[in-house]
Structure 1
Amino acid sequence: MRAPRSLALRLALAAGLWVAAGLGAAGWFITGVVVRQVEAAFDARLSGLLDAAVAAVTTDTHGHIVVGRAPAGADFDRALSGAYWQVTGPDGAVTTSRSLWDQTLPAAQSGHEGIAWRDIIGPRGEPLRLAERDLLLPDAAGEAHVAVALSRAETLAEIARLRTVLLAVFVLLGIGLVGGVVTTVVVGLAPLRRVRRALAEIRQGRRDTLDLDAPGEVAPLVAEVNALIATNRATVERARTHVGNLAHALKTPLAVLRNALEPSHPDLPSARAEAEALQGLVQHHLARARTAARATSVAAAAVSPLAVAQDIAPALRRLFADRGLLIEVTGASTARVRVDAQDLTEMLGNLMENACKWARGQVSLSVADVPGSVVITVADDGPGLPEQVREAALARGVRFDEGTAGAGLGLAIVADLATLYGGALDLARSDLGGLRATLSLPGVALPPVG
């Protein structure tokens, strides 16, 4: 089993990588700029010394190249000081600074205009930066070549120190930024840790809800969890109620069935009737349990009650063909309810089948789309139900042994399903003379066409 990944660790690692990449790029850029500035300053000084050396070069009365005065600005007099100049005449004669002692700089490069730059190795093996140019003087037999070289050892050491300092600064800055990011992540995820601890307390029975003062980003999660807890508790309570109702409803049929099967006076017809009643009770409570689970989970798709009724009507016409019943289905085809299609079929099927059982010759179903709900009316021309037993007929899903004989389980099932979906079932006398069952369910507005 894979170990759980820490969100805080993942965020800290991602932030650390971004900080390292950003600071690395910034350090590389800044270090490059500083190094180029230092080298540019060194080359500018070397160019100034070359100009001073050029200014010191003259010709004698015979047109030979001579150095009138030693260039100033560097230690050209101390042997092997790291600052050197050299002048090469047109005839190949070489004049050098005292600092070169018995050494010379590399031969001049030809074929260039202006100042030429080279990195060479000096008399002591030190790195030198050399600047050279050609010089044409009046009265001279040809071009002279002037070269000045300076040791780069101090400059390179300074660049190395700058690199070290910048690296240390950026490393410390990176550590500080990563530490700040980690602290921010830990503090920012603290509400989630509180939620986790509160959920553990709920599981252990020490807390009822997530009564936390959560920030705006976590508050919706807390609210949804509280709603889920409330829904689960309601589901458990409904399950307990179903079990209690079923146990209470089974007591009387089981007692009658036990008495009917006594060897002294067996009553098989009564036993068979009670067995059928027991089967109906179990099926009814199973249907309620399934519907309760569906109603509290994913919302069902919008269903047309008129289309469902039109599918049921042909089956009922065939079932009651010997009685010649007139079954009419009319109403708004655009009406929609957000009810599971199977549950809607069960509700309308029970209402229409109950009407067909008691009708003398006519059953009608109409669908009306009213603001906020859909009203489905099923009427028949049968004997109907007396007003004093209508409420008991709808309550049989709670206390089956208190229902009126002949009312059946269908109306109680419809009432229970309607309540689970936020609707209601009402019984009254119909204009046809029999029973009128009015089923109200929350409606769903269709999107506008076009």
Structure 2
Amino acid sequence: MRLRPALAGLWAMNSLTRRLVILTTLWVSLGLGMIAWFVVRTDEQQIQSTADARLASLLDAVVAATSFDPATGPVLTRPVADPEFERPLSGHYWQLTGPGGIQVTSRSLWDSRLGPPLREPAEGVRARSMQGPRGEDLRVLERDVQIDSRFGRVPISVQVAFAREGTADEIADLRSNVILAFALLGTGLVAVVALLVIWGLRPLRRTQQELAEVRQGRRLHIDVVAPIEIAPLVTEIEALIEQNRATVERARNHVGNLAHALKTPIAVLRNALEAGDMAGARVQSATLERLVQHHLRRARAGALAGSAGAESAPLAVAEALGTALRRLTAARGIQIRVAGEAEARVRADSQDLTEMLGNLMENACKYGSGRVAVRVSLVNAGRIAILVEDDGPGLAEGDDGAVLLRGVRLDEAKPGSGLGLAIVGDLASLYDGTLTLERSTRLGGLAARLELPGRLASEKYQGPD
């Protein structure tokens, strides 16, 4: 994998990789940050609850060992099972306050005293914070108890305190460890996502590289094995390359055909002008004009062939042509019948379709005796057939290929240039269509069958496989 170009493009302002990495970083940071806060908060509460439970247990132990001596005041009848109460200024303290403010303390308080006990609420355990003898922050639990003595029940306030240093250090260590762990996890996740994005976009970079090589003429096709997500894009690019190549090839052929077609008429025209034959010159001039117009139409159709949105309704075009031809052939009484699938749509420019159908229908009217039929039908998925039939003499066996050549006319008695059917064949091939000529089984004359890529209006277009 070539990481250097990918990493170089990572910081481009319009880089997909950069956008995905930034969004991933933000999402991972937000998600892991919230989880880390929740974990730290929960563990802090758990640590504090554990410390309070231990402190409450020691408070119960001190209360259980508390007694009252009328001579000395409150006393502990037995030591509390925590050696820290015996070590001076250890951070673990207890204090008893009897009637008249008489106080007895643990050895750990040395000559210091805890703050006076609160009196509200009178029942239950009270929790608060205060400063210890070393200025440390203390967590204090206190409770008022009634101790039986010879003189009745004596009220005594019992206080037990722990320094928060140990709990605070434990919470700080937990917080730093959780933050470090989640930071490493987040960094790893972002790095993995960045590598996955770079690897996942590799086919696009390969496609761009091969497309540049096609443009530079170093290769003819894109050979990337694309994943299914971008395979349609690569297929369309390849189709566009082929279409452009075909367009260039058609333009080259048009130029060659035009040059070849003009060569003889120009020579004849030159000889006619040199000999002063103006009638012959005019004939050759008309021939030249027809040839130029024919190749211009072919060039235009070649440019439009395969273009998106070039779609026409053949039945509507045939009906419009039929209306016009009925007027032109009214003297001969030609009956023109147009029928078929109204929803049929062909992939061809409307002007080119008019040119093709116009030539076929005019040819049928010219050679037909009195009847011309046009029918539009759906052949199969993706193909539309337009059948133009007449009741004329039709074609002799073996003539169907000859009449599709430019300038060939089997009936010299009829006016024309011999380019009509050739133009239809050329235009049909440019649109990936076909023109076939055969004898009509219904009317007995010529049957011209034009097939073009198409669909019904209610269906999606399906291109050729």
TM-score > 0.5, shorter chain as reference? yes
The reply on whether 1:424 has 2:450 as its aligned counterpart is: no
Distance 1:414 1:311 in 2: 18
Q: Is the 8 A contact 1:326 1:361 kept in 2?
A: yes
Q: Is the 8 A contact 2:65 2:76 kept in 1?
A: yes
Q: Which moved more, 1:433-442 or 1:196-205?
A: 433-442
Map 1:238-387; keep pairs closer than 5 Å: 238-262=250-274, 265-267=276-278, 269-298=279-308, 300-301=310-311, 303-321=312-330, 323-334=331-342, 336-340=344-348, 341-359=350-368, 361-371=370-380, 373-380=383-390
The reply on whether 1:409 has 2:419 as its aligned counterpart is: yes
Amino acid at match of 1:325: G
Shift of 1:74: 4.5
Give the CA RMSD over aligned residues.
Answer: 3.2
Q: Is the 8 A contact 1:309 1:329 kept in 2?
A: no
The reply on whether 1:173 has 2:181 as its aligned counterpart is: no
Amino acid at match of 1:284: H
Q: Which runs of 5+ in 1 are unaligned?
A: none
Distance 2:290 2:12 in 1: 50
Q: Is the 8 A contact 2:344 2:376 kept in 1?
A: no
CA deviation map 1:182-202 (0-9, x unaligned): 222223333333333222222
1:205 maps to what in 2? Answer: 217
Amino acid at match of 1:202: V
Task: Tell me: CA distance 1:256–1:403, structure 2 relative to 1, closer, same or farther (3 Å).
Answer: farther
Distance 1:298 1:18 in 2: 41
Shift of 1:151: 0.8
SS in structure 2 at match of 1:209: coil
Q: Is the 8 A contact 1:305 1:335 kept in 2?
A: no
The reply on whether 1:226 has 2:235 as its aligned counterpart is: no
Shift of 1:289: 2.7
Distance 1:92 1:313 in 2: 124
* Match for residue 134 of structure 2 among 101, 107, 124: 124
Q: Is the 8 A contact 1:313 1:327 kept in 2?
A: no
Amino acid at match of 2:403: A
Distance 1:92 1:84 in 2: 18
Shift of 1:358: 4.4
1:110 maps to what in 2? Answer: 119
Shift of 1:413: 1.7
Q: Is the 8 A contact 2:128 2:139 kept in 1?
A: yes
* Match for residue 28 of structure 1 among 8, 12, 37: 37
2:101 maps to what in 1? Answer: 92
Task: Tell me: CA distance 1:259–1:110, structure 2 relative to 1, closer, same or farther (3 Å).
Answer: farther
* Match for residue 195 of structure 2 among 165, 177, 183: 183
* Length-normalised TM-score, structure 2: 0.82
Q: Which runs of 5+ in 2 are unaligned?
A: 1-10, 460-465
What number of residue pairs does the alignment pair up? 439
Q: Which moved more, 1:333-342 or 1:83-92?
A: 333-342
Map 1:381-400; keep pairs closer than 5 Å: 390-396=400-406
Task: Tell me: CA distance 1:433–1:28, structure 2 relative to 1, closer, same or farther (3 Å).
Answer: closer
Q: Which moved more, 1:431-440 or 1:200-209?
A: 431-440
Distance 1:34 1:118 in 2: 21
* Match for residue 439 of structure 1 among 450, 457, 462: 450
Shift of 1:148: 0.9
Q: Is the 8 A contact 2:12 2:18 kept in 1?
A: no
* Length-normalised TM-score, structure 1: 0.85
Task: Tell me: CA distance 1:275–1:143, structure 2 relative to 1, closer, same or farther (3 Å).
Answer: farther
Shift of 1:127: 0.7
Q: Is the 8 A contact 2:360 2:448 kept in 1?
A: yes
